[in-house]
Amino acid sequence: AQSLPFVCERSVPSLPKLSNSDLSAKTTTAATASISKVKSSTNINKKYDPCQTKPYNRYNLFYILERERFLQSKSNYKRKTVPPPSDFFTGYELLNMPALPPRFEHLDLPYDWYMPGTRKAKKRDHTKSHGLASFKDIARHVADEYRNIDKVTLKYVTAVAEILKQRQGELKAARRRELEHIAEMNALASTSSIPTSSSSITNRVDAC
């Protein structure tokens, strides 16, 4: 497994939007370079904590994709993308995803569609929604389609969900190692300019 830096302090610039052909099984040079810039820190962003935010399960992933398929089938639908802040880092940027299944391969998707937490970081645009269908209608449509999901699509969303779950485990492990290292350094140091109580560190490690 790839060694991940501690991800509470986000200093990674936003990634460029990928085209459909680039979306599958591909990472960018910008992502590879930027992940190394994430600094170790015990300052947890209360708005988004990668260790506490659950990754999408396979139904969540299907819902996102099927909703887009439903809306993009409308001739008057225009997707408005609101990028996250330039310093926002989810911890899920360097994932090698499988190619989209035939059902969704034509969709115009943002590069971060599967990344948990991105909606929390994006500044909400207070404008009228698409107005093409109500939330209830979309939810019913997605539920009906999921009951009849084909094997290829099910295999895809299951694989993506497993990749996200594995990355969450890596993030938690990185958090634990970092906090345990800080606790050890504090225990060895006779004096410290950064007052960090052992109980505080223990609580944060347990939270992972």
Give the mean model confidence (pLDDT) for residues 74-89. Answer: 74
Our CA dihedral for 3, 54, 12, 16, rounded to 10 degrees, sits at: 110
Residue 4 has pLDDT above 50, yes or no: yes
Instruction: Indicate yes or no: pTM above 0.75.
Output: no
DSSP characters over 158-177: HHHHHHHHHHHHHHHHHHHH
According to the model, what pLDDT value does residue 65 have?
97
Q: Which amino acid, one-letter code, is at 160? A: V
According to the model, what pLDDT value does residue 7 have?
45
